[in-house]
Amino acid sequence: MDKISVIVPCYNEEDTVRLFYDTVTQVAASVPDTDWEFIFVDDGSADGSGAVCDRCAQEDARIRVFHTPNGG
């Protein structure tokens, strides 16, 4: 079985993070026999992006979230 890793850096994208996640999971669901993971890297967002990422991770065990200080 193939494994796909989707790595998404985000910074102050509170309004679009969930939409992006929903879109990618719909596409991944249409690919049979594929194991996938979704990695959010919250780059020190000043809005609620990190919290949205955390909520997505609570809903799906294939999601991991890393919170880092803003690195530019």
**If you average pLDDT over residues 45-62, what whole number do you get?**
93
> What is the model's pLDDT at position 52?
95
Alpha-carbon distances of 5 from 12, 24, 51, 61, rounded to whole Å = 22, 11, 21, 14
Asked if pLDDT for residue 60 goes beyond 70, the answer is: yes
Over residues 11-26, the pLDDT tens digits come to: 999 999 999 889 988 8
Q: What is the arithmetic mean of pLDDT over 39-47?
A: 95
> How many other CB atoms are there within 10 angstroms of residue 67's CB atom?
14
pLDDT, average across residues 27-45: 86
Residue 1 confidence (pLDDT) above 70: no
